[in-house]
Amino acid sequence: MLRPSLGVVLLAVLASAQTVPTHPNLAYANLGGTDLELDLYLPTSGSGPFPVVLWLHGGGWSGGSRFPLPEEAAQLVELGIAVASVDYRLTRDDVLYPGFPVTFPAQIHDVKGAVRWLRAHATQYGLDPARFGAFGRSAGGHLAALLATSGGVSALEGTTGGNASSSSAVQAAADWFGPTDVLQLDPDFTDPPGQLAWYDPPGSAASHLIGFDQPNEGVGVLRLHVDDPNAPYPYYLALARAANPATWADVNDPPLLVAHGSEDTTVPMHQSERLVAALDAAHAPVTWVRALGYGHDLDGAHALTVALFFRQRFFGACEVESTCAAHTPSNVCPCGNVGGVGHGCANSLPWSDGASLVAGGAEASSLTLQALGVPSTAGCIVLQGDATTTPLAWGDGQRCLGGTLVRIAYVQAQAGAARFPEPALGDPPIQVRSAQRGAPIPPGATRHYQVHYRNSATAFCPAPAGGTFNATNAVRVVWP
């Protein structure tokens, strides 16, 4: 049976999503006579207090708007999560805020002020102060990531809107293709895919962000003076470093989902790779989705990934962790792994690098496994193992799964993504399917999951070394 694409399924869900704010135009601060506002969208079903995610729009820190709410954020409202779409100072709007700067750190000061205001008014609006998140794309993704990593950093707290007794911390964040290291934006571009935005000149978005944007200035000039102790370089270099989410990465950071298209010619994917590497080095929880073939945008399948991520963090009954992805926190993985972050244990073709498996949802009965970055119509086998014994060689590499191996499902990918279960197609929950296959999962048990997929129409087994079979990373699930 041909499965509908994930994008089609998600758009069907979003068709009924709330698009009009429940509480529009809420002023969370006033700067120089101008209100900074947010729109609050509350779920239309269920009872609060609701978790809330701040939506942070993109636009190069100089443009964009909090309204209308895009589909990737609106889906969260339909799934029981409130969304606050937030204004922040834009670098082009200096006349709106007399006496207040519009250069960094104004933007993060505003975002943190919005978090504090929402927490201070949580009871009034039916929000749960213990379940806050942030999500943004491009410049908004940068701010979401910076909000997540800079919790407790007094220099970035600011006083926007007051409410100093309320915390500005978030418990989860999602960053879609946000810039991170403004000093390295131009050097991080490669060809292919090429470059359609330039950040070194004084008139660039990055130069405007830090205020080093006068003639004979700009990020490119600043990078040439990275070791120059003479004014004004140390001041602006410190601003650039403070704006980098990686600067503040530590083990106490909340879970962060980072997704970036490999063909992005507006913000180079290496910007996200830098952030993920810093989070890995700090042993901070990060989920990395290298979106193969995508530019400066992502689709419904990746929006579903965000939904699964926040549902898991705010409602999840299972403990979920990505493992076996060829980076330091995955050393517990039992397989011999190669490649970079996001590679599976057995990727045989360069263009399949980046195939990833994510898991999320809410209650144990609705946990979903989603494979991303596989060939567009690949056949996928969803595997479960207990990882208690040495893994066996299989296909062109070693699987991440040891012990009793169970084939949970065969799923046909659509547009490079596949998931299980799909209740609309009659799929049972993972626990039920496992029991049906003779491997019931006892309470508190740990199981590992991985998706093997093929790149051609040849049979699955056996595959010669270097053949046509590939695997995602593994996901470790502790069942309740």
Residue 133: both structure tokens together: 């998140």
Answer whether 0.85 is exceeded by the pTM: yes
Token pair, residue 407, equals 């084939």
**pLDDT reported for residue 354:** 62
Q: What's residue 293's pLDDT?
A: 85
Nearest to 372 by CA among 390, 360, 389, 363: 360
Mean pLDDT by 10 residues, the chain (480 residues): 36 51 98 98 93 98 97 96 98 96 98 98 98 98 98 96 98 98 98 97 98 98 97 98 98 96 96 94 89 92 96 94 56 40 41 73 90 83 76 46 81 91 93 94 91 60 47 86
161 torsion bin: left (phi>0), alpha (psi -120 to 50), beta (else): left
Given a contact cutoff of 8 angstroms between Cβ atoms, the answer to whether 18 and 78 are in contact is yes
Amino acid identity, position 394: W
What residue segments make up the domains of the chain, in order of their start?
A: 6-181+244-314, 318-478
Question: Residue 325 has what pLDDT?
Answer: 52
Topology agreement, domain 6-181+244-314 and domain 318-478: no
CATH 3.10.20.30 fits 6-181+244-314, yes or no: no
> What is the structure's pLDDT at 193?
96
pLDDT at 376: 79
C-alpha distance from residue 262 to each of 95, 188, 289, 443 (Å):
38, 12, 10, 40
User: What pLDDT, on the 0 to 100 scale, is given for residue 464?
Assistant: 42
CB contact at 8 A, 408 and 354: no
CATH number 2.60.120.10 given to 318-478: no
- pLDDT value, residue 388: 59
